[in-house]
A and B are shown apart, each in its own frame.
Chain A
């Protein structure tokens, strides 16, 4: 089974802090994605990556950056957390660009910024 793990299930941070969310997949998948999910707004794509050291902006990249130094690990960074970044953050991976919408999700990190 594909396993996608995220570093924390719940996180509370203060406004202005730098926040790191880590995601690891164990199935040698090429693609990795970061989404946020908010009530009434659904899933929104923040960033994705097709390969090590490659990244592409999604629909809402402002205020976020990402890092993919190893194939299995994709990190989301909030440079200076703000209250409007309080959300559920979901990491996903897919095998390859041709299987792009067959995505496997982690359990999510519920981030609260106070």
Chain B
């Protein structure tokens, strides 16, 4: 699996867009980019995933560069409840999940009032 690199921590003002970057320069052609977050003392939460096109759902947008070596998760209007550790991972989909999810250190996003 491709390795990902994320900043250790970021701050964002409440109501502003939070842009979380992730580098995955060794990503292979059939690997998807997935984003999860984990709020303190809760289970991880799936946010969004994509292969090469930009994706948007009710939680966030995912922007993947044309060369697929990096991506950005955008939370359009951050609230205090978005304070969490955000994880970017890459995986080949369709294998049944046998490899399990493994998170790196992620980015600790702190939303400031």
Contact = CB atoms under 8 A, between A and B. Distances in A.
A22 B49 CA distance: 28
Given A43-B102, A43-B103, A101-B91, A106 B97 contact: no
Given A35-B101, A43-B101, A103-B101, A97 B46 contact: no
A68 to B, nearest CB: 14
B95 interface: yes
Contacts of B91: 100-101
A48 B97 contact: yes
A100 B43 contact: no
Interface residues of B, number: 23
Interface residues of A, number: 28
Nearest to A58: B100
A108 B101 contact: no
A100 B103 contact: no
Given A42-B103, A101-B32, A101-B91, A31 B97 contact: yes
Contact of A106 (B34, B43, B46): B43
A104 to B, nearest CB: 6
